[in-house]
């Protein structure tokens, strides 16, 4: 599995992902799952992916090839993130159509999902999830985050912490904790964790970091968080069993 998330707030975008891929427990590898297709000053285009690795790598390759070949439709030429999402959806459909019959013969799941985040000069930042079927949805101020892959473990912390008014620094910590919680509960999600922060209207990546195993900040976050949970837990009064 994989776990990627995107957060959009009025201050900009935050994208984060783990780096583990597995085909069964005896084939675990580390792959980059967060890709930057930006043209600084004109557009920021960030893409993360989950699901069948051969499918997502094919899609990423086709996206790169179209840019290099100067195709009419490519990530640098299309005029809006809506058009870019449709274009990525179309490529996904094409790759699926090509490989699916062969994968299905052996019962291999060829599903995949993408998170697309970015901004094009003169337009608002957007965050979208593109499904395996090629269709897509946008994050909104009411639901300012989207997740793909192994999403459930890390959702409670997002539900309790994020709003559209959250600062990007807080969103970054929240994303890190969400991924770290998932890594603790599910071995199919693993380090390094990659985080990219984009400030609205800057039209270039503001910050990016990779947190490897043993990273001092990540270990400190984990220690503080566990301490907080234990302390908070201790502060909750015991159940009064006689109350009813």
- Provide, rounded to whole angstroms, the least separation between the CB of residue 32 and its own copies: 16
- Provide, rounded to whole angstroms, the least separation between the CB of residue 168 and its own copies: 10
Residue 153 interacting with its own copies (CB under 8 A): yes
Q: Please, is 236 exposed, middle or buried when counting C-beta atoms within 10 Å of its C-beta (0-12, 13-18, 19+)? A: exposed
Residue 213 interacting with its own copies (CB under 8 A): no
Tokens (6 digits) for 214: 């043993």
Site for its own copies in 52-91 (CB under 8 A): none
Residue 214 interacting with its own copies (CB under 8 A): no
When the beta carbons of 24 and 241 are compared against its own copies, the nearer one is: 241
Q: How many residues bind its own copies (CB under 8 A)?
A: 50
Out of 143, 155, 199, 200, point to the residue binding its own copies (CB under 8 A).
Answer: 155
Out of 97, 142, 160, 214, point to the residue binding its own copies (CB under 8 A).
Answer: 160
Site for its own copies in 170-209 (CB under 8 A): 170, 172-174, 176-177, 181-182, 184-186, 195, 197, 206-207, 209
- Provide, rounded to whole angstroms, the least separation between the CB of residue 190 and its own copies: 15
- Provide, rounded to whole angstroms, the least separation between the CB of residue 11 and its own copies: 14
- Provide, rounded to whole angstroms, the least separation between the CB of residue 237 and its own copies: 7
- Provide, rounded to whole angstroms, the least separation between the CB of residue 102 and its own copies: 25
Residue 243 interacting with its own copies (CB under 8 A): yes
Q: Write the secondary structure of the chain as one string of H (helix), E (strand) and C (coil).
A: CCEEEEEEECCEEEEEECCEEECCCCCEEECCCEEECCECCCEEEEEEEEECHHHHHHHHHHHHHHHHCCCCCCCCCCCCHHHHHHHHHHHHHHHHHHHHHHHHHCCCCCCEEEEEEEEECCCCCEEEEECCCCCEEECECCECEEEEECCCCCHHHHHHHCCCCCCHHHHHHHHHHHHHHHHHHCCCCCCCEEEEEEECCCCCCCEEEEECCCCHHHHHHHHHHHHHHHHHHHHCCCCCCCCC
HSE-CB of 188 using CA atoms within 13 angstroms: 15
- Provide, rounded to whole angstroms, the least separation between the CB of residue 160 and its own copies: 6
Residue 210 interacting with its own copies (CB under 8 A): yes
Interaction site with its own copies (CB under 8 A):
150, 152-157, 159-161, 169-170, 172-174, 176-177, 181-182, 184-186, 195, 197, 206-207, 209-210, 217, 220-221, 224-233, 235-241, 243-244
């Amino acid at each position: 599995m994989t776990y990627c998330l995107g957060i959009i707030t009025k201050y900009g975008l935050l994208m984060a992902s783990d780096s583990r891929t597995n085909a069964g427990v005896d084939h675990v590898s580390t792959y980059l799952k967060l890709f930057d297709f930006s043209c600084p000053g004109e557009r920021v285009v960030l893409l993360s992916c989950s699901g069948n690795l051969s499918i997502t790598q094919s899609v990423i390759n086709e996206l790169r090839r179209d840019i290099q070949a100067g195709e009419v439709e490519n990530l640098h030429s299309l005029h809006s993130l809506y058009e870019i999402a449709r274009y990525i959806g179309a490529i996904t459909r094409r790759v699926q159509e090509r490989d699916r019959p062969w994968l299905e013969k052996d019962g291999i799941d060829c599903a995949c999902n993408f998170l697309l985040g970015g901004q094009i000069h003169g337009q608002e930042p957007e965050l979208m999830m593109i499904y395996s079927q090629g269709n897509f949805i946008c994050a909104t101020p009411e639901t300012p985050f989207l997740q793909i892959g192994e999403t459930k473990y890390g959702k409670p912390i997002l539900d309790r912490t994020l709003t559209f008014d959250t600062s990007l620094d807080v969103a970054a910590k929240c994303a890190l904790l969400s991924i770290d919680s998932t890594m603790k509960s599910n071995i199919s999600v693993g380090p390094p964790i990659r985080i990219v922060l984009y400030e609205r209207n800057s039209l270039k990546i503001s910050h990016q970091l990779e947190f490897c195993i043993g990273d001092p900040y990540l270990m400190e976050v984990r220690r503080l968080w566990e301490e907080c949970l234990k302390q908070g837990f201790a502060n909750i009064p015991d159940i009064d069993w006689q109350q009813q």
